Structure 1
Amino acid sequence: MKAPLGYLALLLHAHLPFVRHPEHEECLEEDWFFEALTESYIPLLWVFDELFLSGVAFKLSLSLSPTLCTMLKDPLLLQRYERYLSKRIELCSKEIDRYGADPIRLALAQFYRERFQAVWTAFTQSYEKNLLGQFKKHQEQKTLELITSTATHGYLPLLRNPKEAVKAQIFVGIESFIDCFQSYPKGLWLPECGYYPRVEVILQEADIKWFVLEANGILLSRPRPCFGLFCPIYTPAGPAAFGRDNLSSKEVWSAEGGYPGDPDYREFYRDLGFDAELNYIKPYILPSGQRKFTSIKYHRITGSCDHKELYEPKKAQEKAKIHAEDFIHKRERQIIKAAQFLPRSIKPIVFCPFDCELFGHWWFEGPLFLKELLKKASQSEVLALTTPSEYLSFFPTHQICQPSPSSWGWGGHSKMWLNETNDFIYPPLHEAAHLLTGLIRKHRKADGSVLRCLKQAARELLLAQASDWPFLISRSTAKEYATSRITSHLNRFFELCSCIMHKKINKSLLEYCEYTDNIFPKLDLNHFS
C-alpha cells in the first residue's frame, strides 16, 4: 500500500459527572450512567471487538474521565445497573405481549429486547462487569490510545484562583488514570477544551505530551500557525496542541444540518416512558410517579413536525453506512487539498474529537456509523488513521505558537460556564480552594482523623468544581440537581474544614462523606499545595 497523503485522527471523549446516591434506592440522575453504558460504551466495545477480530486496521483515541472510570468500577452502581437492565428486559417482554397484533411495533419490541439481552450478556459474561479492562485490552492491542482528563472535569480557566486548584485537577486526574490502567497517559483532555495561557506549564510539569484545543485556540495563536488546523503546534512550555476540525464537527455534531438529524434515524425524545399510559408504565418510572426515559423508542425523527413515523432499524442502518462513506470522502478531499500547500517534510492531519456519548446515546446509530467509518478509512488510499502520539512520532517538528484563550463552548469562550445564571458558584469555589491550600500547608504532618478530614474536604471541593454543574444550570437542564450538588459538596467541605480548624472532628459526618463521596481513595494532598 502506498504512503497516505495525510492522516485522520478520531478522538472520543467519554465523560459523565460523578453521580452516586447510596442514600436513595432509586435516583433519576444515576440513569445517565446506565443509559450511557447501554447505548454508548458497550456498543462501542462491540465495534472495537468486531473490527479487531475482522482484521480491520483501525486506531483512534479515547479519553476516559476519572469520574467515569470511578463509576465504571463502583460495586453499588454496577449492581444497580444489573437491576436497570433486568427491568428493561421485563418491560420489553410486556411490550411484545401487548403488540402481538401489531407486526411493526411487535418487531420493534423484539428488537429492543434482543438488544437489552445482548447488553446484559456482554456486561455480565463477556466483559465480566469490567469495561475498563476491555478498554485496556484494546490499548494493548494498539487500536486505542487511552488518555485522561482532569480529576472531576473542572473548567480550568475559571478555577485558576488559586493555581493550586488547577494543578490538583490535573495531577489527581493523571494518578487516577495510572491506578485504572497501570500506564502513564501521553495526552490529557482539557475539560470543554477550556484553555488559558500557561496552563501548558502545568501540563509540561505533569509530563503531558499533547492536548486538544477548539479551532479558534489554534487559529488565533501568536504567531499565526502557518498550516492552520492541518498540523499541531507546540506551546512555549512544550506540550503540543491539536485543533478541532471545523467541517467534520458540524457534520457529526449538528442535529439540524448534520448526520444525526436525518429523518430515518431514531427520535431521541419520543420514549415509552412518556408515551405509555401511566398505570402501565408506573413500575418502570420513579416511585414518585415522575416519568423518565426507558430507552425504548418506537419513532424516527421524520421531520421537524410533531408527527413521527415508526422507526425502521434496517433503513437507519443503511443510512449510517451512507453517511460514513460521505464523511470519509469529505476528509479525503480536505487532505488532498491541504497536501498541496504543505511542505513534503510533513503531512496534514484532520483531527476530529467528539463526545463519546453522542455515539449511541444521543445518536442511536452512531456506533454503526463509527464502525463503517473506520472500515472505510482503513481502505482509503488517500488517508490513514492515526493517533496524536503516533503522528508526533512521525512528524516531531512543528511551529511554536502561543494559543489563544478558548473553549468548545458557545462562542468559543467561557460564556456557557460563566454567565448571569451560574456566576454565583465561583466566589465560594475560589474561597474554598484558598482555604484548603492553607489548611494542607498548616497540617503537613497530619495523620489519623485530621488527615482523613483533609482528604475528604479535598474530594468535596473537587466534586463541587465539576464543569457539568454550571453547564446544566446555564442550559436549565437538571438545574435544581446541579445547584444542589454544588451546594451540598461546598457545605460538606466547609463543615469538614471547620472540624479541622476547631480541632473537633465530627466522626459521623466524616464517615458519611467518605461513604457517599468515595472517589479518589488514594488522593495525594501534595497536589493541592
Structure 2
Amino acid sequence: MTSEGTFCLVLHSHLPWLPHHGSWPVGEEWLYQAWAHSYLPVVELLRRFAGEGRRDVLTLGVTPVLAAQLDDPYSLRTFHEWLGHWQLRALHASTLWRGQPVLRELGAAEHRAALHATEDLETQWRHGFSPILRSLVDAATIELIGGPLTHPFQPLLDERIRAFALRSGLDDTGLRIGHRPAGIWAPECGYAPGMEDGYAAAGVERFLVDGPSLRGDTSAARTVGSSDVVCFGRDLEVTYRVWSPKAGYPGHANYRDFHTWAHEVGMKPSRVTGHQVAPPDKAPYEPALAADTLRLHVKDFVDTVVTRLRRLRARNGKEALVVAAYDTELFGHWWHEGPAWLDGILRALPEAGVRVTTLRGALEAGHLGPPVDLPASSWGSGKDWRVWDGEQVADMVEDNAALQRRLLAVRPGPLRDPVLDLAVNEAMLALSSDWAFMVTKDSAADYARRRARVHTERFGAVLRGERPLPLEDRVFGQLDARLL
C-alpha cells in the first residue's frame, strides 16, 4: 500500500503537585479523577498495543512533577481509598436510580469500572507509574518526552534557573525509568528566541511548539536557528477537529456531559444533549448512542488526516507530516469516550495507509525541513505569553521575579544541605505555570494564588530556619541545590 504520509500523536501528561494541598473541589480530587479516568485507561490502551507487538504508537510526555505524584506512596494509598469510595457511590447510584433503567445501568457500569480500576491499581500499578512507563519505553511502544521539574513557564525564568529546572527534570525522569528523554514538551509550548541553545546544552534534541510559531507550515520538523535542535509544530487544522477553543468532538450531544453532576452520588449522569440545555433538562447518558457517534468521529478524523496529508503532498511534492498534540487528561477525564476514540484512530489510520509513528520516527522517516527562526510564542490564548505574563497576573509575575532573585542569592556550601534542597524544592513548586494559568482563566483562581503564595512563603521560612523539614512536599528527593 502506498503511504499517504506520516501522523504523530503527542500526549502531554501533567498536573501540578496536589497531594496534601486540599481535596475538594480542587486538590487531590483533581489528581484522582485524572488518574482514574485518563491515566489508567490510556496506560491500559498502551499496554494492549505493547502486547500486540506494536512499536512507535505515540509520543508520550510525562512531567516530572506528575510522575512524582503517581509514584508517591501516599498518593497510591489515598487513590486506592478514593477508588473504594467510587465503588460505594456507584452502588448507591444503582439503588437510588432503580426505577430508571437507563440510569440504573449507568450506575452498574460505573461500579464495574471502579472495580476494574481498583484491580488495575492493585496489580499493574502497585509500585507506581515508573515501572509501567519503563516497560512501555523498553518495548518501544512509545517515545517518552520529559520536561522541567515543575512545569514552569520557561520564557519568564532566569536562564540559570531555566537550565537548572530542565536539567534536573530530565535527570529525574532518567532516574525513574532508566532513560533520559531526548525530547521535551516545552511547558505551555512556551518559547523565547535563543532557548534552543539551552536545550542543546541540556541534551534536548527536539521539542514542541504550536502551529502559528511556524506560521502554520507544520508539514515537517525544523532545526531552530543555527542549532541542531529540532522543533515540531502542532497541526491545528487536524488537532482542532478534536479539541479547540470553540468546538470539537467532545461537545457532541450524545457524549457524556463533563459539567453536569448528580451530587448526591458524585456521578455525571447526563449526555451533552445541547449546549443551551440547562443541566436539569439534559437527557440521561446512553453508552450505545455515544458508541455510534464515536465510530463516526473516528472515521471523520481519519478522513481529515488523509485529506490533509494529500493536500500537503500536492503542495510540497513529497510526503508530509501531521502532528496532533493534546493534554492526556482530555481523554477520559474531560472526554469520557476519549480513550476509546484513541484506540479507534490508532488502529484505523494504518489501515487507511497512514504511517503512525513517534516524533523520533518522523525524523527517521525523513520529515525534516530547512532551519527556522521562531518568534516568542506559546499555545495559550493569542499564541503569545499573555496567559502567564498578562495584566491579571502582573503581581504574580513580579512575585516570581523576586523569588528568582532570592533563589539565585542562595550560596550552597561544598556539602549537600537538606535545608537548601527543600528551599529550592519549594521555589520550584511556586514557579509552576499552572498557578498563573488558573488565575488568567478564572479556574479556581483563589486556590492557585494561595498555592503560589504558600510555596513562596515556605521558601523564605525554610531558609530562615523557621519551618521544620516537612516530608509531604519533598517532591524530588534527589534535588540538589548545589547544581544552581
Question: TM above 0.5, one fold?
Answer: yes
- Structure 2 SS opposite 1:146: strand
How far does residue 343 in structure 1 lie from its aligned partner after superposition?
A: 4.6
Counterpart among 216, 222, 232 of residue 233 in structure 1: 222
Counterpart among 461, 485, 492 of residue 427 in structure 2: 461
The aligned residue for residue 345 of structure 2 is 373
1:118 paired with 2:76, answer no
How far does residue 129 in structure 1 lie from its aligned partner after superposition?
A: 4.8
Relative to structure 1, is the Cα distance of residues 31 and 156 closer, same or farther in structure 2, using a 3 angstrom cutoff? same
Give the gaps of 5 or more residues in structure 1: 221-227, 282-293, 500-504
The question of whether the paired residues in 1 share the 8 Å contact of 2:255 and 2:271 is answered with yes
The whole-number CA distance in structure 1 between the counterparts of 2:223 and 2:23 is 50
How far does residue 356 in structure 1 lie from its aligned partner after superposition?
A: 0.4
Relative to structure 1, is the Cα distance of residues 38 and 380 closer, same or farther in structure 2, using a 3 angstrom cutoff? same
How far does residue 338 in structure 1 lie from its aligned partner after superposition?
A: 1.1
What are the within-5 Å matches in structure 2 for residues 184-333 of structure 1? 184-219=180-215, 228-235=217-224, 236-254=226-244, 256-273=246-263, 276=264, 294=266, 296-304=267-275, 305-306=277-278, 307-333=281-307
- Structure 2 SS opposite 1:212: strand
The question of whether the paired residues in 2 share the 8 Å contact of 1:150 and 1:189 is answered with no
The aligned residue for residue 358 of structure 1 is 330
The question of whether the paired residues in 2 share the 8 Å contact of 1:123 and 1:129 is answered with no
- Structure 2 SS opposite 1:149: coil
The question of whether the paired residues in 1 share the 8 Å contact of 2:320 and 2:367 is answered with no
How far does residue 255 in structure 1 lie from its aligned partner after superposition?
A: 7.1
- Structure 2 SS opposite 1:428: helix
The aligned residue for residue 516 of structure 1 is 472
The whole-number CA distance in structure 2 between the counterparts of 1:316 and 1:454 is 53
The question of whether the paired residues in 2 share the 8 Å contact of 1:230 and 1:350 is answered with yes
The aligned residue for residue 444 of structure 1 is 413
Relative to structure 1, is the Cα distance of residues 209 and 411 closer, same or farther in structure 2, using a 3 angstrom cutoff? same
The aligned residue for residue 440 of structure 2 is 474
How far does residue 417 in structure 1 lie from its aligned partner after superposition?
A: 1.3
The aligned residue for residue 287 of structure 1 is none
C-alpha distance after superposition, 1:275-298 (max 9, x if no partner) = x3xxxx6xxxxxxxxxxxx3x211
- Structure 1 SS opposite 2:218: helix
- Structure 2 SS opposite 1:230: coil
**Displaced runs of 4+ in structure 1, greater than 4 A?**
24-28, 54-58
The whole-number CA distance in structure 1 between the counterparts of 2:400 and 2:130 is 31
- Structure 2 SS opposite 1:61: strand
The whole-number CA distance in structure 2 between the counterparts of 1:79 and 1:402 is 48
The whole-number CA distance in structure 2 between the counterparts of 1:522 and 1:243 is 33
Report how many aligned residue pairs link the two structures: 480
Relative to structure 1, is the Cα distance of residues 56 and 238 closer, same or farther in structure 2, using a 3 angstrom cutoff? closer
Relative to structure 1, is the Cα distance of residues 480 and 257 closer, same or farther in structure 2, using a 3 angstrom cutoff? closer
- Structure 2 SS opposite 1:421: helix
The question of whether the paired residues in 2 share the 8 Å contact of 1:453 and 1:510 is answered with no
1:485 paired with 2:475, answer no
Identical pairs, percent: 25
The whole-number CA distance in structure 1 between the counterparts of 2:117 and 2:23 is 23
The question of whether the paired residues in 2 share the 8 Å contact of 1:266 and 1:300 is answered with yes
Tell me how large the CA RMSD over aligned residues is: 1.9
How far does residue 271 in structure 1 lie from its aligned partner after superposition?
A: 1.3
The question of whether the paired residues in 2 share the 8 Å contact of 1:65 and 1:148 is answered with yes
The whole-number CA distance in structure 1 between the counterparts of 2:406 and 2:124 is 47
The aligned residue for residue 21 of structure 1 is 20
- Structure 1 SS opposite 2:370: coil
The aligned residue for residue 314 of structure 2 is 340
- Matching residue's letter, 2:190: G
The question of whether the paired residues in 2 share the 8 Å contact of 1:171 and 1:527 is answered with no
How far does residue 12 in structure 1 lie from its aligned partner after superposition?
A: 0.3
The question of whether the paired residues in 1 share the 8 Å contact of 2:254 and 2:272 is answered with yes
The whole-number CA distance in structure 2 between the counterparts of 1:516 and 1:131 is 19
How far does residue 134 in structure 1 lie from its aligned partner after superposition?
A: 1.8
The whole-number CA distance in structure 2 between the counterparts of 1:27 and 1:269 is 13
The whole-number CA distance in structure 1 between the counterparts of 2:107 and 2:222 is 50
How far does residue 401 in structure 1 lie from its aligned partner after superposition?
A: 1.4
Higher Cα Rg: structure 1 or 2?
A: 1
The whole-number CA distance in structure 2 between the counterparts of 1:126 and 1:480 is 36
Relative to structure 1, is the Cα distance of residues 36 and 329 closer, same or farther in structure 2, using a 3 angstrom cutoff? same
The question of whether the paired residues in 2 share the 8 Å contact of 1:186 and 1:389 is answered with no
Give the gaps of 5 or more residues in structure 2: none
The whole-number CA distance in structure 1 between the counterparts of 2:367 and 2:342 is 29
- Matching residue's letter, 1:525: A
Counterpart among 321, 330, 333 of residue 349 in structure 1: 321
